[in-house]
Chains A and B, each alone.
Chain A
Amino acid sequence: DQQVKQNSPSLSVQEGRISILNCDYTNSMFDYFLWYKKYPAEGPTFLISISSIKDKNEDGRFTVFLNKSAKHLSLHIVPSQPGDSAVYFCAASLETSYGKLTFGQGTILTVHP
């Protein structure tokens, strides 16, 4: 039972353009959603999060949008840079579940110079 899904295995974008990474979930009880970025041979690093009571959170070039009715969230990166090339994981958690994150399968983002 995949509660968090990233249906696009990969995304290719030109430098300077917008990257949009998508994530769907099935459990309406999730309280928080997080995005992690992973470079090869490194552990995932936290990027940005959003509470289920909000619909948008912005941090520099990164913005996460949450559509609770559609059980969908997206990460926008503007402008995209070659250094953003990595695997992006969407994750979700419950308020009561400490650090027990449920991850999606990941999307490989490639930003071409």
Chain B
Amino acid sequence: GAGVSQTPSNKVTEKGKYVELRCDPISGHTALYWYRQSLGQGPEFLIYFQGTGAADDSGLPNDRFFAVRPEGSVSTLKIQRTERGDSAVYLCASSLTRVAGANVLTFGAGSRLTVL
């Protein structure tokens, strides 16, 4: 597609429930990233995919968070046993493999998760 698409745009859930957030990156972009933005803060790195594999998942806060990208395109961020502290905007970004210079990421509009 023309841009990075994220669904749902808004998700309200109850504490303890399971949530899936989907990201459809720009066609042809091999690198995909998930970031999380809490209120009043900048985005924080969660995980990076190069192709189908998670090359760096060091930003995932704990084992309740998991992400997949089975065919190297669409990615799903999965959160188990949600907690109120998980409430945030989850941003997905994609990029081409960098050749030279700064690696410029293109972000989606985000999925706003609210855990009651």
Question: Which residues does A use to contact B, with CB under 8 Å?
Answer: 4, 6, 32-34, 36, 41-46, 49, 51, 89, 91, 93, 98-106
Q: Name 7 interchain pairs, CB-CB below 8 A, sorted by A.
A: A32-B101, A33-B102, A36-B107, A43-B107, A98-B48, A98-B98, A105-B41
Contact yes or no, A99 B105, CB < 8 A: yes
Type the 1/0 row for B77-107, where 1 means its CB is closer than 8 Å to any CB of A.
0000000000000010101001001111111
Of A42, A46, A93, A99, the contact of B31 (CB 8 Å cutoff)? A99
Type the 1/0 row for B28-44, where 1 means its CB is closer than 8 Å to any CB of A.
00010101000011111
Known: A32-B103, A34-B104, A98-B103. 17 other contacts (CB 8 A): A4-B42, A32-B101, A33-B102, A34-B102, A36-B107, A42-B109, A43-B4, A43-B108, A45-B107, A93-B102, A98-B48, A98-B55, A99-B31, A99-B98, A99-B103, A101-B45, A105-B42
- Closest CB in chain A relative to B81 CB, distance in Å: 27
Contact yes or no, B105 A46, CB < 8 A: yes
How far, in angstroms, from A106 to B56 measured CA to CA in the complex? 25
* Given A41-B109, A105-B41: A49 and B98 interface contact (C-beta under 8 Å): no
How far, in angstroms, from A34 to B95 measured CA to CA in the complex? 15
Tally of A-B Cβ pairs under 8 angstroms: 70
Contact yes or no, A105 B40, CB < 8 A: yes
What is the interface size of chain B, counting residues whose CB is below 8 A from a CB of the partner? 28
- Closest CB in chain B relative to A29 CB, distance in Å: 15
Contact yes or no, A100 B56, CB < 8 A: yes
In the complex formed, the residue of B with least CB distance to A92 is: B102
Interface-central residue, A34, A43, A104, by most chain B CB under 10 Å: A43
- Closest CB in chain B relative to A1 CB, distance in Å: 12
Q: Across the interface, which residues of B come within 8 angstroms of A104, CB to CB?
A: 42
How far, in angstroms, from A36 to B102 measured CA to CA in the complex? 13
In the complex formed, the residue of B with least CB distance to A87 is: B42
